[in-house]
Amino acid sequence: MSYGKKVLDHYEHPRNVGSFNEEEIKDGSVGTGMVGAPACGDVMKLQIKVDKSGKIIDTRFKTYGCGSAIASSSLATEWLKGKTLEEAQQIKNSEIAEYLSLPPVKIHCSILAEDAIKAAIADYRQHNQSETLKVKTDNE
């Protein structure tokens, strides 16, 4: 399989690789999304760090899979930075696939990236919601 230029660029120089450390996660500002694609066995972990105003200030990813899956998640972490959670929620797999010129057989890699974004946002919202609830009950 020959990869497109943009895929190769992200594959060879992936952006924001890695994980946030315990210290960075402790304050609840990080949302982690983990997804997997049975079609190819690829696994993706994507993290967003969100500031108090609900804006994504930093991102990390770890993807075990093919070049297209790595490129899709690398690109996603770039696009996420500076976006609000609402804006991030709007990122579509078709935009990722189009930007990277993914062939039809690799579309599922971009679906994986979109699902990872959604999972990370859901994770962030979940423990921040329970945080607020906890504060409430503490005050009562």
Partner 1 sequence: MLELNKNYFELFGLSLSFQVDLSLLKSNYRQILLKVHPDKFAHTTEQERRIALQYTALINEAYKTLVSPLHRAIYFLALHGVSINLENNTAMPAEFLLEQINFREAIETAEENEQKLLIIASEISELKQTIIKNLTVLFEKITEENLSKAKQFVLKLTFFEKLLADIKERVQH
Please give the positions annotated as active site.
40, 109
For partner 1, which residue of 21, 39, 57, 98 counts as binding (CB under 8 A)? 39
Residue 8 or 34 with smaller CB distance to partner 1:
34
CB 28 within 8 A of CB 131: yes
Q: For residue 62, state whether it binds partner 1 (rule: CB under 8 A).
A: yes
The span of 4-12, 46-54, 82-90, 106-114 binding partner 1 (CB under 8 A) equals 106-114
Q: For residue 115, state whether it binds partner 1 (rule: CB under 8 A).
A: yes
Whole-number minimum distance, CB 138 to partner 1, in Å?
27
Closest C-alpha among 9, 31, 11, 28 to residue 19: 31
One character per residue 67-96, x = contact with partner 1 (rule: CB under 8 A): ------------------------------
H helices of 13-140, in order, are 22-26, 67-80, 85-89, 93-100, 107-139
Whole-angstrom Cα distance, residue 134 to residue 119?
22
| Non-local CB neighbours of 18 within 8 Å, separated by 6+ positions | 60, 61, 62
CB 42 within 8 A of CB 61: no
Q: For residue 36, state whether it binds partner 1 (rule: CB under 8 A).
A: yes
- Interface positions with partner 1 (CB under 8 A): 34-43, 45, 62, 64, 107-108, 111-112, 115-116, 119
